[in-house]
Amino acid sequence: MQAAVSDLIGYQHSRLKRKRPMLVFGFNDASHGHAEIASDNLRVPFMNILHGEGHGFELTEGRLGPGRSHHCLRLRVAAECGTHMMVERALRTAFGKKIAQHGSFQLDWQWSAYIKERKLGSDHLEQTCVPRDRRIHAAAAVMFGIGYNSDG
């Protein structure tokens, strides 16, 4: 098993080839966005290694973790907007009574799921401000946020 390493390499390096542009959320950011890069027999000087051998994933995780929380919060806001739209719809009248009284409207489940996800998200944000182990809170917030938004 090889150790993960983060390093600095100039983009114009002779053994670094840009294979093709990548789509990001379905959009083509060609010439300035993300790309698939291939390295053929690339040798990296020891001075270019960041944070030591075996700590590459640690650096990457430190950069990506806050983004995960950000996107979960974005999903939470979208879910809250959807829930409020459901409330407005439930209050409309159809066939002489409110839509919520027709028996097939599951607003209570949607709202309770939203409250649970909001609590997990706020717990996770509290934990990120305190320097201690927070992986369980992050995983719960991410997994419940994804499940909540895709189920309903």
147 and 77 assigned to the same domain: yes
Select the more confidently predicted residue: 57 or 133. Answer: 57
Which token pair is 92?
Answer: 């409309």
Q: β-strands 35-39, 27-28: how paired?
A: unpaired
pTM over 0.85: no
For residue 100, give the DSSP letter: G
Size of the chain, expressed as the number of residues it contains: 152
- Residue 12 scores a pLDDT above 70: no
What is the model's pLDDT at position 79? 80
Q: State which residues form the domain around 31.
A: 6-50
Using alpha carbons, select from 114, 108, 83, 87 the residue that is nearest to residue 98: 87
Banded model confidence at residue 114, pLDDT cuts 50, 70, 90: confident
CATH number at residue 145: 1.20.140.10
CA angle at 80 for the pair 151 and 65, rounded to the nearest 5°:
75
Q: Flag the least confident range among 12-16, 30-34, 39-43, 136-140.
A: 136-140
In a domain, 55, yes or no: no
Select the more confidently predicted residue: 88 or 47. Answer: 88
In a domain, 36, yes or no: yes
Per-residue model confidence as pLDDT tens digits over 48-104: 777 777 777 777 777 777 777 777 778 778 888 888 888 888 889 988 988 878 776
Task: State the average pLDDT over residues 119-138.
Answer: 63
Whole-angstrom Cα distance, residue 83 to residue 52? 47
Residue type at position 25: F
Q: Report the chain's mean pLDDT, rounded to a whole number.
A: 72
Select the more confidently predicted residue: 80 or 110. Answer: 80
73 and 120 assigned to the same domain: yes
